[in-house]
Amino acid sequence: MQVVTLEKIKTFSPEKMKKINLFDTKNLFCDLYCFEPGQAQNPHTHEGEDKIYYVLEGEGSFRVGAEEQTVGAQSAVLAPAGVDHGVANRSSQRLVIMVFMAPKPHH
């Protein structure tokens, strides 16, 4: 059984958002994204994969398609396949997000 303690592995960088892989299987992956205030993930698209952002700590400004909304802890955001999406930490607090993506993209 694989078990990860998020509090022990979350990491922040003053240069850019940190991406920490939690699980990586042939069917999906799960990452932890850690943002300092002012950091962002540039909008991008995944043609064949849906993505779910789950906010663990803080609040982020999420953009999915033409919509943008500020979302706080204990909330999830769906970015469907083929739709432009990204997130920014416009707050003065750190932002921690768990990200699930399936099917796993082919690199």
Would you say residue 102 has pLDDT above 90? no
CB neighbours (10 Å) of residue 21?
12
The confidence score (pLDDT) of residue 103 equals 73
User: In which element (H, E) is residue 6 found?
Assistant: helix 6-9
Rounded to the nearest 5°, which phi and psi values hold at 64?
Answer: -130, 115
Looking at the chain, the number of H-run helices and the number of E-run strands are 1, 9
CATH architecture of 16-96: Sandwich (2.60)
CA distance 72 to 10: 18
Mapped onto helix, strand or coil, the DSSP state of residue 66 is coil
**What pTM does this model have?**
0.92
Would you say residue 82 has pLDDT above 80? yes
